[in-house]
Structure 1
Amino acid sequence: MPRRPLALFGGTFDPVHYGHLRAAWEAAEQLDADVRLLPANVPPHRPQPVLSADQRVELLRLALAGQERLQLDTRELDRDGPSYTVDTLQELRAEIGADRPLVLLVGADAFAGLPTWNRWLRLFDLAHVGVLDRPGPARERPADLLRQIEERRCAVDGAWRDRGAGCILSLGVTGLDISATAIRAELEAGRDPRYLVPDAVREAIRERGWYRTQ
Protein backbone atom coordinates (compact mmCIF):
# COMPACT_ATOMS: atom_id res chain seq x y z
CA MET A 1 0.00 0.00 0.00
CA PRO A 2 1.45 3.41 -0.96
CA ARG A 3 2.80 5.55 1.84
CA ARG A 4 1.22 8.86 2.73
CA PRO A 5 2.10 11.50 0.13
CA LEU A 6 4.64 14.19 0.87
CA ALA A 7 3.98 17.63 -0.64
CA LEU A 8 6.32 20.61 -0.99
CA PHE A 9 5.30 24.26 -0.95
CA GLY A 10 8.11 26.67 -1.75
CA GLY A 11 8.41 30.44 -1.64
CA THR A 12 10.34 33.30 -0.14
CA PHE A 13 7.86 33.70 2.75
CA ASP A 14 8.90 37.32 3.18
CA PRO A 15 6.90 37.32 5.42
CA VAL A 16 4.80 34.17 5.73
CA HIS A 17 1.08 35.05 5.78
CA TYR A 18 -2.36 33.46 5.93
CA GLY A 19 -2.53 33.10 2.13
CA HIS A 20 0.49 30.77 2.27
CA LEU A 21 -0.72 28.88 5.31
CA ARG A 22 -4.31 28.36 4.21
CA ALA A 23 -3.32 27.14 0.74
CA ALA A 24 -0.81 24.68 2.22
CA TRP A 25 -3.36 23.47 4.77
CA GLU A 26 -6.11 22.92 2.19
CA ALA A 27 -3.66 21.04 -0.06
CA ALA A 28 -2.72 18.83 2.90
CA GLU A 29 -6.39 18.07 3.56
CA GLN A 30 -7.27 17.33 -0.08
CA LEU A 31 -4.23 15.15 -0.70
CA ASP A 32 -4.15 13.62 2.80
CA ALA A 33 -0.48 14.55 2.72
CA ASP A 34 2.23 15.93 4.94
CA VAL A 35 3.26 19.33 3.59
CA ARG A 36 6.69 20.89 3.96
CA LEU A 37 7.20 24.61 3.51
CA LEU A 38 10.53 25.32 1.82
CA PRO A 39 11.86 28.88 2.08
CA ALA A 40 14.07 29.69 -0.91
CA ASN A 41 17.63 30.94 -0.51
CA VAL A 42 18.10 32.65 -3.90
CA PRO A 43 14.77 32.48 -5.80
CA PRO A 44 15.46 32.39 -9.57
CA HIS A 45 12.12 33.91 -10.68
CA ARG A 46 11.46 36.75 -8.23
CA PRO A 47 13.22 39.58 -6.35
CA GLN A 48 15.51 38.64 -3.51
CA PRO A 49 13.97 38.57 -0.02
CA VAL A 50 14.12 41.59 2.29
CA LEU A 51 14.63 39.53 5.44
CA SER A 52 17.57 37.19 5.92
CA ALA A 53 17.16 33.41 5.83
CA ASP A 54 17.34 33.19 9.63
CA GLN A 55 14.71 35.90 10.06
CA ARG A 56 12.28 34.24 7.64
CA VAL A 57 12.81 30.87 9.34
CA GLU A 58 12.07 32.45 12.71
CA LEU A 59 8.73 33.74 11.42
CA LEU A 60 7.88 30.41 9.80
CA ARG A 61 8.55 28.54 13.04
CA LEU A 62 6.19 30.90 14.87
CA ALA A 63 3.51 30.47 12.18
CA LEU A 64 3.70 26.67 12.23
CA ALA A 65 3.71 26.21 16.00
CA GLY A 66 0.96 24.12 17.54
CA GLN A 67 0.27 21.73 14.65
CA GLU A 68 2.07 18.87 12.93
CA ARG A 69 0.75 18.56 9.38
CA LEU A 70 2.60 21.61 8.01
CA GLN A 71 6.34 21.31 8.59
CA LEU A 72 9.40 23.43 7.86
CA ASP A 73 12.19 22.23 5.55
CA THR A 74 15.24 24.49 5.31
CA ARG A 75 17.30 22.48 2.81
CA GLU A 76 17.24 25.21 0.14
CA LEU A 77 18.70 27.68 2.64
CA ASP A 78 21.60 25.27 3.20
CA ARG A 79 22.58 25.30 -0.49
CA ASP A 80 24.57 28.03 -2.18
CA GLY A 81 23.37 29.58 -5.42
CA PRO A 82 19.91 29.69 -7.00
CA SER A 83 17.22 27.54 -5.36
CA TYR A 84 16.30 25.40 -8.36
CA THR A 85 13.30 23.22 -7.56
CA VAL A 86 14.60 20.33 -9.65
CA ASP A 87 17.69 20.08 -7.41
CA THR A 88 15.49 20.02 -4.30
CA LEU A 89 13.27 17.30 -5.74
CA GLN A 90 16.26 15.17 -6.76
CA GLU A 91 17.72 15.45 -3.26
CA LEU A 92 14.43 14.63 -1.57
CA ARG A 93 13.64 11.75 -3.91
CA ALA A 94 16.96 10.17 -3.01
CA GLU A 95 15.94 10.39 0.65
CA ILE A 96 12.40 9.01 0.44
CA GLY A 97 12.83 6.44 -2.32
CA ALA A 98 11.20 6.08 -5.71
CA ASP A 99 7.73 4.90 -4.65
CA ARG A 100 6.42 7.43 -2.12
CA PRO A 101 4.15 9.96 -3.84
CA LEU A 102 5.82 13.37 -3.89
CA VAL A 103 3.77 16.44 -4.87
CA LEU A 104 5.17 19.83 -5.84
CA LEU A 105 2.58 22.49 -4.97
CA VAL A 106 2.54 25.59 -7.17
CA GLY A 107 0.14 28.47 -7.58
CA ALA A 108 -1.74 28.74 -10.87
CA ASP A 109 0.29 31.76 -12.02
CA ALA A 110 3.59 30.08 -11.26
CA PHE A 111 2.38 26.92 -13.00
CA ALA A 112 1.70 28.88 -16.20
CA GLY A 113 5.37 29.87 -16.19
CA LEU A 114 6.63 26.34 -15.54
CA PRO A 115 8.34 26.01 -18.96
CA THR A 116 10.74 28.80 -17.93
CA TRP A 117 11.97 26.79 -14.90
CA ASN A 118 15.32 25.04 -14.91
CA ARG A 119 14.98 21.52 -16.45
CA TRP A 120 11.22 21.79 -16.14
CA LEU A 121 10.31 18.50 -17.82
CA ARG A 122 12.55 16.68 -15.37
CA LEU A 123 10.18 17.82 -12.59
CA PHE A 124 7.59 15.27 -13.76
CA ASP A 125 10.10 12.44 -13.40
CA LEU A 126 10.57 13.37 -9.75
CA ALA A 127 7.14 14.48 -8.52
CA HIS A 128 3.51 15.06 -9.24
CA VAL A 129 2.57 18.73 -9.67
CA GLY A 130 -0.36 20.03 -7.64
CA VAL A 131 -1.75 23.27 -9.06
CA LEU A 132 -3.37 25.54 -6.46
CA ASP A 133 -6.32 26.96 -8.38
CA ARG A 134 -8.01 29.98 -6.83
CA PRO A 135 -11.25 31.59 -8.07
CA GLY A 136 -10.81 34.22 -10.77
CA PRO A 137 -9.19 34.56 -14.20
CA ALA A 138 -6.21 32.33 -14.90
CA ARG A 139 -2.97 33.28 -16.65
CA GLU A 140 -2.69 31.91 -20.20
CA ARG A 141 -0.76 28.66 -20.40
CA PRO A 142 1.74 28.07 -23.25
CA ALA A 143 1.25 25.29 -25.79
CA ASP A 144 4.08 23.09 -24.49
CA LEU A 145 2.58 23.19 -21.01
CA LEU A 146 -0.92 22.43 -22.34
CA ARG A 147 0.48 19.28 -23.97
CA GLN A 148 1.84 18.13 -20.63
CA ILE A 149 -1.51 18.83 -18.95
CA GLU A 150 -3.34 16.77 -21.56
CA GLU A 151 -1.00 13.82 -21.06
CA ARG A 152 -0.64 14.00 -17.28
CA ARG A 153 -3.96 15.23 -15.85
CA CYS A 154 -5.15 13.12 -12.90
CA ALA A 155 -8.11 13.45 -10.55
CA VAL A 156 -7.30 14.11 -6.91
CA ASP A 157 -9.29 11.00 -5.97
CA GLY A 158 -7.64 8.98 -8.75
CA ALA A 159 -4.79 6.47 -8.89
CA TRP A 160 -1.88 8.95 -8.69
CA ARG A 161 -1.09 7.65 -5.19
CA ASP A 162 0.09 4.41 -6.78
CA ARG A 163 2.89 6.31 -8.55
CA GLY A 164 5.72 8.33 -7.13
CA ALA A 165 5.56 11.06 -9.79
CA GLY A 166 4.24 12.15 -13.18
CA CYS A 167 0.68 13.50 -12.71
CA ILE A 168 -0.77 17.01 -12.74
CA LEU A 169 -3.44 17.56 -10.08
CA SER A 170 -5.82 20.50 -9.78
CA LEU A 171 -6.48 21.60 -6.20
CA GLY A 172 -9.16 24.18 -5.56
CA VAL A 173 -8.15 26.45 -2.67
CA THR A 174 -9.73 29.46 -0.98
CA GLY A 175 -8.96 32.68 -2.83
CA LEU A 176 -7.28 34.77 -0.12
CA ASP A 177 -5.98 37.84 -1.95
CA ILE A 178 -3.04 38.43 0.39
CA SER A 179 0.47 39.23 -0.80
CA ALA A 180 3.76 39.58 1.05
CA THR A 181 4.48 42.67 -1.07
CA ALA A 182 1.33 44.39 0.20
CA ILE A 183 2.12 43.38 3.80
CA ARG A 184 5.61 44.85 3.53
CA ALA A 185 4.11 48.07 2.16
CA GLU A 186 1.74 48.22 5.14
CA LEU A 187 4.63 47.81 7.55
CA GLU A 188 6.83 50.33 5.76
CA ALA A 189 4.01 52.85 6.06
CA GLY A 190 3.68 52.18 9.78
CA ARG A 191 0.35 50.37 9.49
CA ASP A 192 -0.70 47.19 11.27
CA PRO A 193 -1.09 43.97 9.17
CA ARG A 194 -3.48 42.47 11.71
CA TYR A 195 -5.53 39.54 10.29
CA LEU A 196 -3.11 39.16 7.35
CA VAL A 197 -0.46 37.25 9.29
CA PRO A 198 -0.60 35.09 12.44
CA ASP A 199 -0.47 37.13 15.64
CA ALA A 200 2.83 35.57 16.69
CA VAL A 201 4.38 36.59 13.35
CA ARG A 202 2.93 40.08 13.60
CA GLU A 203 4.27 40.55 17.13
CA ALA A 204 7.75 39.33 16.20
CA ILE A 205 7.91 41.73 13.24
CA ARG A 206 6.74 44.60 15.42
CA GLU A 207 9.17 43.87 18.25
CA ARG A 208 12.16 43.58 15.92
CA GLY A 209 11.26 46.54 13.72
CA TRP A 210 11.49 44.49 10.53
CA TYR A 211 10.30 45.98 7.22
CA ARG A 212 10.07 49.51 8.63
CA THR A 213 11.41 52.33 6.51
CA GLN A 214 14.73 53.36 8.00
Structure 2
Amino acid sequence: MTACIALLGGSFDPVHNGHIALAAHFVQLLHADRLRVIPTLPWQKSALVATPEQRAEMARLAFAGQPFAAEIDRQEIERNKPTYTVDTLRALRAELGEATSLCFLMGADQLERFDTWHDWQSLFGLANFCVAARPGFTLDGPQVPRAVAAEFRQRLAPPHTVRATPAGLACLAPDLAVDISATRIRAALQQGGEANSLVPQVVLDYIEQHNLYKN
Protein backbone atom coordinates (compact mmCIF):
# COMPACT_ATOMS: atom_id res chain seq x y z
CA MET A 1 0.00 0.00 0.00
CA THR A 2 1.18 3.53 -0.79
CA ALA A 3 2.47 5.39 2.26
CA CYS A 4 0.42 8.47 3.09
CA ILE A 5 1.89 11.43 4.98
CA ALA A 6 -0.38 14.28 6.08
CA LEU A 7 1.31 17.69 6.21
CA LEU A 8 0.19 20.55 8.44
CA GLY A 9 2.07 23.82 8.04
CA GLY A 10 1.47 26.92 10.08
CA SER A 11 3.04 29.70 12.08
CA PHE A 12 1.60 28.14 15.29
CA ASP A 13 1.82 31.48 17.11
CA PRO A 14 0.38 29.85 19.18
CA VAL A 15 -0.75 26.37 18.16
CA HIS A 16 -4.42 25.89 19.05
CA ASN A 17 -7.23 23.35 19.16
CA GLY A 18 -8.28 24.21 15.60
CA HIS A 19 -4.93 22.97 14.29
CA ILE A 20 -5.35 19.73 16.22
CA ALA A 21 -8.94 19.23 15.06
CA LEU A 22 -7.96 19.80 11.42
CA ALA A 23 -5.08 17.32 11.67
CA ALA A 24 -7.06 14.67 13.53
CA HIS A 25 -9.96 14.88 11.08
CA PHE A 26 -7.82 14.32 8.00
CA VAL A 27 -5.52 11.74 9.58
CA GLN A 28 -8.64 9.68 10.23
CA LEU A 29 -10.29 10.45 6.89
CA LEU A 30 -7.18 9.57 4.88
CA HIS A 31 -5.95 6.76 7.14
CA ALA A 32 -2.64 8.62 7.04
CA ASP A 33 0.41 6.80 8.30
CA ARG A 34 1.93 9.91 9.89
CA LEU A 35 1.44 13.61 10.37
CA ARG A 36 4.27 16.04 9.70
CA VAL A 37 3.75 19.33 11.56
CA ILE A 38 5.76 22.11 9.88
CA PRO A 39 6.30 25.37 11.79
CA THR A 40 6.81 28.01 9.13
CA LEU A 41 8.61 31.27 8.58
CA PRO A 42 5.85 32.61 6.28
CA TRP A 43 6.73 35.32 3.83
CA GLN A 44 3.16 36.64 3.77
CA LYS A 45 2.78 37.34 7.50
CA SER A 46 3.99 40.24 9.58
CA ALA A 47 6.38 39.72 12.49
CA LEU A 48 5.50 36.77 14.71
CA VAL A 49 5.48 37.01 18.50
CA ALA A 50 7.04 33.74 19.63
CA THR A 51 10.48 32.70 18.39
CA PRO A 52 10.78 29.83 15.88
CA GLU A 53 12.05 27.55 18.66
CA GLN A 54 9.14 28.46 20.92
CA ARG A 55 6.61 27.88 18.15
CA ALA A 56 8.16 24.49 17.33
CA GLU A 57 8.12 23.49 20.99
CA MET A 58 4.48 24.52 21.43
CA ALA A 59 3.59 22.42 18.38
CA ARG A 60 5.56 19.47 19.76
CA LEU A 61 3.77 19.69 23.11
CA ALA A 62 0.34 20.00 21.50
CA PHE A 63 0.71 17.02 19.18
CA ALA A 64 2.66 14.74 21.54
CA GLY A 65 -0.52 13.78 23.36
CA GLN A 66 -2.59 12.90 20.29
CA PRO A 67 -3.65 9.33 19.44
CA PHE A 68 -1.94 9.44 16.03
CA ALA A 69 1.71 9.48 15.01
CA ALA A 70 3.01 13.02 14.60
CA GLU A 71 6.43 14.59 14.26
CA ILE A 72 7.73 18.13 14.04
CA ASP A 73 9.43 18.93 10.73
CA ARG A 74 11.92 21.73 11.40
CA GLN A 75 13.11 22.35 7.86
CA GLU A 76 11.50 25.76 7.41
CA ILE A 77 12.66 27.25 10.71
CA GLU A 78 16.14 25.82 10.16
CA ARG A 79 16.37 27.62 6.82
CA ASN A 80 16.12 30.75 8.97
CA LYS A 81 14.48 32.83 6.26
CA PRO A 82 10.94 33.25 4.95
CA THR A 83 10.22 30.33 2.69
CA TYR A 84 7.68 29.12 0.14
CA THR A 85 5.46 26.06 0.43
CA VAL A 86 6.66 24.92 -2.98
CA ASP A 87 10.24 24.70 -1.67
CA THR A 88 9.18 22.66 1.35
CA LEU A 89 7.14 20.26 -0.78
CA ARG A 90 10.04 19.77 -3.17
CA ALA A 91 12.29 18.91 -0.23
CA LEU A 92 9.71 16.48 1.18
CA ARG A 93 9.21 14.83 -2.19
CA ALA A 94 12.99 14.36 -2.55
CA GLU A 95 13.15 12.87 0.95
CA LEU A 96 10.09 10.62 0.85
CA GLY A 97 10.14 9.49 -2.78
CA GLU A 98 7.84 9.80 -5.76
CA ALA A 99 5.41 7.08 -4.65
CA THR A 100 4.45 8.51 -1.26
CA SER A 101 1.09 10.25 -1.04
CA LEU A 102 1.72 13.73 0.36
CA CYS A 103 -1.47 15.39 1.60
CA PHE A 104 -1.23 19.06 2.51
CA LEU A 105 -3.95 20.08 4.99
CA MET A 106 -5.49 23.53 4.99
CA GLY A 107 -8.55 25.48 6.04
CA ALA A 108 -11.03 27.15 3.71
CA ASP A 109 -9.60 30.57 4.62
CA GLN A 110 -6.26 29.53 3.08
CA LEU A 111 -8.01 28.38 -0.08
CA GLU A 112 -9.46 31.88 -0.48
CA ARG A 113 -5.97 33.32 -0.99
CA PHE A 114 -4.34 30.27 -2.53
CA ASP A 115 -3.60 32.15 -5.75
CA THR A 116 -1.24 34.44 -3.80
CA TRP A 117 1.01 31.48 -2.88
CA HIS A 118 4.28 31.45 -4.77
CA ASP A 119 4.09 29.31 -7.91
CA TRP A 120 0.76 27.94 -6.69
CA GLN A 121 -0.22 26.00 -9.79
CA SER A 122 2.92 23.86 -9.62
CA LEU A 123 2.05 22.74 -6.08
CA PHE A 124 -0.30 20.05 -7.42
CA GLY A 125 2.63 18.30 -9.05
CA LEU A 126 4.11 17.79 -5.59
CA ALA A 127 1.18 17.01 -3.29
CA ASN A 128 -2.54 16.53 -2.83
CA PHE A 129 -4.48 19.32 -1.11
CA CYS A 130 -7.11 18.60 1.55
CA VAL A 131 -9.37 21.46 2.61
CA ALA A 132 -11.58 21.64 5.69
CA ALA A 133 -14.63 23.50 4.46
CA ARG A 134 -16.76 25.36 6.96
CA PRO A 135 -20.58 24.94 6.83
CA GLY A 136 -22.02 26.54 3.72
CA PHE A 137 -18.68 26.75 1.94
CA THR A 138 -18.59 25.95 -1.77
CA LEU A 139 -15.92 26.27 -4.43
CA ASP A 140 -18.36 28.46 -6.35
CA GLY A 141 -18.60 30.96 -3.49
CA PRO A 142 -17.49 34.56 -4.07
CA GLN A 143 -14.55 34.26 -1.65
CA VAL A 144 -12.70 31.66 -3.73
CA PRO A 145 -10.72 33.05 -6.69
CA ARG A 146 -12.12 31.72 -9.97
CA ALA A 147 -8.82 30.17 -11.09
CA VAL A 148 -8.39 28.41 -7.74
CA ALA A 149 -11.96 27.09 -7.80
CA ALA A 150 -11.50 25.74 -11.35
CA GLU A 151 -8.21 24.04 -10.44
CA PHE A 152 -9.64 22.38 -7.35
CA ARG A 153 -12.91 21.39 -9.01
CA GLN A 154 -11.19 19.39 -11.74
CA ARG A 155 -8.99 17.63 -9.16
CA LEU A 156 -11.64 16.66 -6.61
CA ALA A 157 -11.51 13.04 -5.49
CA PRO A 158 -12.77 10.99 -2.51
CA PRO A 159 -10.40 10.48 0.44
CA HIS A 160 -9.52 6.86 -0.40
CA THR A 161 -8.40 7.89 -3.90
CA VAL A 162 -6.38 10.82 -2.56
CA ARG A 163 -4.74 8.52 -0.02
CA ALA A 164 -3.59 6.15 -2.78
CA THR A 165 -2.32 8.89 -5.14
CA PRO A 166 1.06 10.63 -4.71
CA ALA A 167 -0.03 14.11 -5.84
CA GLY A 168 -2.37 16.14 -8.02
CA LEU A 169 -5.73 15.62 -6.31
CA ALA A 170 -7.94 17.69 -4.02
CA CYS A 171 -10.28 16.70 -1.23
CA LEU A 172 -12.94 18.80 0.50
CA ALA A 173 -14.16 17.82 3.97
CA PRO A 174 -17.40 19.77 4.43
CA ASP A 175 -18.17 18.54 7.96
CA LEU A 176 -15.40 20.21 9.96
CA ALA A 177 -16.20 23.65 11.35
CA VAL A 178 -13.09 25.22 12.85
CA ASP A 179 -13.28 28.90 13.69
CA ILE A 180 -10.32 29.66 15.93
CA SER A 181 -8.02 32.57 15.26
CA ALA A 182 -4.48 32.79 16.63
CA THR A 183 -4.93 36.58 16.55
CA ARG A 184 -7.97 36.26 18.79
CA ILE A 185 -6.09 33.95 21.15
CA ARG A 186 -3.14 36.34 21.43
CA ALA A 187 -5.53 39.20 22.18
CA ALA A 188 -7.24 37.17 24.91
CA LEU A 189 -3.92 36.21 26.49
CA GLN A 190 -2.66 39.78 26.28
CA GLN A 191 -5.75 41.03 28.11
CA GLY A 192 -5.57 38.26 30.70
CA GLY A 193 -8.62 36.54 29.25
CA GLU A 194 -9.46 32.85 29.16
CA ALA A 195 -8.09 30.75 26.31
CA ASN A 196 -8.65 27.34 27.93
CA SER A 197 -11.19 26.20 25.36
CA LEU A 198 -8.99 27.31 22.46
CA VAL A 199 -5.50 26.10 23.37
CA PRO A 200 -4.30 22.77 24.85
CA GLN A 201 -3.49 23.10 28.56
CA VAL A 202 0.07 21.94 28.04
CA VAL A 203 0.57 24.84 25.60
CA LEU A 204 -1.06 27.33 27.98
CA ASP A 205 1.38 26.15 30.65
CA TYR A 206 4.28 26.75 28.27
CA ILE A 207 2.97 30.22 27.40
CA GLU A 208 2.74 31.07 31.08
CA GLN A 209 6.20 29.70 31.87
CA HIS A 210 7.79 31.75 29.08
CA ASN A 211 5.67 34.87 29.65
CA LEU A 212 4.48 34.92 26.03
CA TYR A 213 1.78 37.14 24.51
CA LYS A 214 1.78 39.60 27.39
CA ASN A 215 1.89 43.39 27.13
Q: Is the pair's TM-score, using the shorter chain for normalization, greater than 0.5?
A: yes
Q: Which amino acid aligns with 1:118?
A: H
For structure 2, the residue ranges without an aligned partner over 5 or more in a row are: none
The corresponding residue for 1:72 is: 72
Larger CA deviation: 6-15 vs 188-197 = 188-197
Counterpart residue type for residue 168 of structure 1: A
Cα 1:183/1:150, change in 2 over 3 Å: closer
| Counterpart position of 2:43 | 44
Deviations 1:105-130 (A, max 9, x none): 11112112111111111100000111
Q: Is 1:141 aligned to residue 144 of structure 2?
A: yes
Contact 2:36–2:71 (Cα < 8 Å) also in 1 = yes
Q: Which position in structure 1 is the counterpart of 2:186?
A: 184
5 Å matches for 1:112-191? 112-137=112-137, 140-157=143-160, 159-191=161-193
| Residue number in structure 2 paired with 1:204 | 206
Amino acid at match of 2:9: G
CA contact (8 A) 2:130 2:170 kept: yes
How does the TM-score come out when normalised to structure 1? 0.91
Partner residue, 1:32: 31
What's the C-alpha RMSD, in Å, of the aligned pairs?
1.7
Cα deviation for residue 102 of structure 1 reads: 0.6
TM-score for the superposition, normalised by structure 2: 0.91
Which amino acid in 2 is paired with 1:134? R
Query: 1:183 offset after TM fit, Å?
Result: 1.0
CA distance in 2, matches of 1:28, 1:60: 17
- Assess if the C-alpha contact under 8 Å between 2:13 and 2:48 holds in 1: yes
Which residues of structure 1 form unaligned runs of 5+?
Answer: none
2:5 aligned with 1:6: yes
* Superposition misfits of 4+ residues, deviation over 6 angstroms: none
Distance 1:200 1:150, change over 3 A: closer
Q: Is the 8 A contact 1:23 1:173 kept in 2?
A: no
CA distance in 2, matches of 1:164, 1:44: 27
Count of paired positions: 210
Identical positions, percent: 38
Contact map agreement 1:14 1:49 (CA 8 A) in 2: yes
Determine the structure 1 residue equivalent to 2:17.
Answer: 18
